[in-house]
Amino acid sequence: MTTDISMKEYLSYFKDKRLISIFIFGMASGFPWVLIGSVLSAWLKDEGLSRSTIGLFGLVFGAYSINFLWSPLVDRVKLPILNKLLGLRRSWILFTQFFIIAATLLLSTVDISANLKLVAMISIVIAIASATQDISIDAFRIDSLAENESHKATAAAAMATSGWWSGYALLGTVPFYFADFPGWDWNQVYVVLAFMMFCLSLCVFWVKEPDSNRDEIQSKLETQYQKTLFTDNQNTISAKIASWLLVTLVAPFSEFFKRNGVKTALALLAFIFLFKIGEAFLGRMSIVFYKEVGFTNTQIGTYSKFGTGIITIVFAFLGSLFNHKYGIVKGLFISGIAMALSNLLFAVIALIGPVEWMYALTVVVDGFTQAWSLVAMVAFLSMLCNRSFTAAQYALLASLGNFARTLLSSSSGMLVDWLDGNWALFFVLTAVMVIPSLVFLYLIRHHMYRLENNFHKNGN
């Protein structure tokens, strides 16, 4: 699928205030990964913990892989008081952000070397709250655009991606700079991080709650369940409760399989699961690798955080233009190939050592491939969702990608240890991990092209 659109016309989409809202929430979504990801890894490394132990801490990110289990509740449960003040999406976002801020402050008081289990428990709280925040933020993004505005889907994906990386990478530079200041320790850094998350949470009061007819559709579906399954006692309390549970917990997933067909649905889920495995293994060990090779905290903050963030944001917009003009599926193909090749640059650093210009080149290429692949994937997942079950269906799809990014990647440290610290071979293996998803993508390309054409047809 190819569309004719000028750069000026495409850039005009970004004047839409809703897309700015999506960017802000993207920052709030990416920032918790700093708290329990790169910064925590650096702290654990400075405390002398092994690569395997640091890698196992990645298990806390398992919350992002299973958040689809409670995602239907985010579509249906209205929080007392907050829902009336803010609406469904914003109330859930603010609710989860409170727990992230409180847990971060608590982490700042812990002696990490003496209370490793407590650190793990607090990290789990942050992960669960953040994973739930993501459910609401993703649903907010999809709901913000009307169904006849699918032409803005890739632009929204670019804003979400650039926002996420602004929160994770650009704001993520701050703790590494503070960590190198004389007299500063990681506990003090976490106080700063809690304050930064608090500032991000204030944006909830600026954005507008998206309009939706979700309640009406779900109410009608409940009535249908009551009439079909409880013909004799459809007005009883038990019938109403059962129908509510069916609409909340079963309907989002059954609708996805019914709409796509079981075989196609399973094929889509398999591709989503495979696409980010290599990047996930690389990302989990990248900070440990940089410190072992010999880069300083300041260099890591400058290149891996600030540099990667800027590059990813720039290429997110360029990648979104390509995806809009030539199609999301083609964008997935090209970005997947580039992603595999970029991993090999890390292997070069492992062989030549802490050469700064090579580090900079790797950051540029890696930022480009990450941006392109993320924009394509976010737009792709968004077009697979039914507006009546946005939170539940997007969470189901995203959780599969997060599974590789979180639970599987927790074994990355063990893999490096098993390879006797052979980082070059490790990064070659991460490149090879991308290949199965590309093969699978080719095999189901016709299904994907049909979905994409229908998506844009409905939007025009």
Quote the pLDDT of residue 38. Answer: 79
The one-letter code for the residue type at 153 is A
- The span from the CA of 181 to the CA of 301, in Å, is 13
Q: Whose structure tokens read 């032409």? A: 151
| pLDDT at residue 228 greater than cutoff 90 | no
pLDDT in tens, 238-270: 777 777 777 777 888 888 888 878 887 888 888
**Quick one: how far is CA 253 from the chain centroid?**
20
- The span from the CA of 335 to the CA of 369, in Å, is 6
- The span from the CA of 89 to the CA of 109, in Å, is 32
pLDDT band at residue 6 under the 50/70/90 scheme: low
Dihedral, 101, 104, 106, 111 alpha carbons, nearest 10? -170
pLDDT in tens, 320-339: 777 777 777 788 888 888 88
- The span from the CA of 294 to the CA of 276, in Å, is 27
User: Residue range 16-23: average pLDDT?
Assistant: 83
3-class state of residue 351 by DSSP: helix
**91 neighbors 79 (Cβ within 8 angstroms):** yes
| pLDDT at residue 3 greater than cutoff 60 | no
The one-letter code for the residue type at 377 is M
Closest CA to 197 of 267, 129, 258, 124: 129
Within 10 angstroms of residue 235's Cβ, the number of other Cβ atoms is 8
| Highest mean pLDDT of the ranges 124-128, 151-155, 205-209, 323-327 | 124-128
Within 10 angstroms of residue 195's Cβ, the number of other Cβ atoms is 12
- Looking from the CA of 36 toward its CB, the CA atoms found within 13 Å total 33
Q: What are phi and psi of 301, to 5 degrees?
A: -65, -40
User: Residue range 117-131: average pLDDT?
Assistant: 90
The one-letter code for the residue type at 380 is F
| pLDDT at residue 14 greater than cutoff 90 | no
- The span from the CA of 444 to the CA of 267, in Å, is 7
User: Residue range 370-392: average pLDDT?
Assistant: 79
- The span from the CA of 233 to the CA of 436, in Å, is 51
User: Residue range 442-448: average pLDDT?
Assistant: 78
Pair of tokens at residue 212: 């939706």
Within 10 angstroms of residue 367's Cβ, the number of other Cβ atoms is 25
The one-letter code for the residue type at 328 is I
Closest CA to 154 of 429, 455, 458: 455
The one-letter code for the residue type at 9 is E
- The span from the CA of 374 to the CA of 281, in Å, is 16
- The span from the CA of 203 to the CA of 25, in Å, is 8
**314 neighbors 166 (Cβ within 8 angstroms):** no
Look at the alpha carbons of 98, 197, 28, 360 in this order and tell me if their dihedral is positive or negative. negative
User: Residue range 347-369: average pLDDT?
Assistant: 85
For the chain, what is the total number of helices (H) and then of strands (E)?
Answer: 27, 0
Pair of tokens at residue 66: 């299973």
Pair of tokens at residue 75: 């579509």
Quote the pLDDT of residue 92. Answer: 94
422-434 in b/e burial notation, b at 16+ Cβ within 10 A?
Answer: ebbebbbbbbebb
**261 neighbors 247 (Cβ within 8 angstroms):** no
**86 neighbors 126 (Cβ within 8 angstroms):** no
Closest CA to 359 of 291, 448, 460: 291
pLDDT band at residue 101 under the 50/70/90 scheme: very high
| pLDDT at residue 405 greater than cutoff 70 | no
pLDDT in tens, 58-96: 778 778 878 888 888 888 888 999 988 988 889 999 999
| pLDDT at residue 404 greater than cutoff 50 | yes
Mean pLDDT of the chain: 81
Which residues, in sequence order, are CB contacts of 249 under 8 Å at separation 6+? 72
**56 neighbors 50 (Cβ within 8 angstroms):** no
| pLDDT at residue 99 greater than cutoff 80 | yes
| pLDDT at residue 444 greater than cutoff 90 | no
- The span from the CA of 177 to the CA of 397, in Å, is 36
User: Residue range 340-357: average pLDDT?
Assistant: 87
- Torsion-angle region of 80 (φ positive above 0: left; ψ -120 to 50: alpha; else: beta): beta
Pair of tokens at residue 258: 């019914």
**174 neighbors 421 (Cβ within 8 angstroms):** no
User: Residue range 123-143: average pLDDT?
Assistant: 90
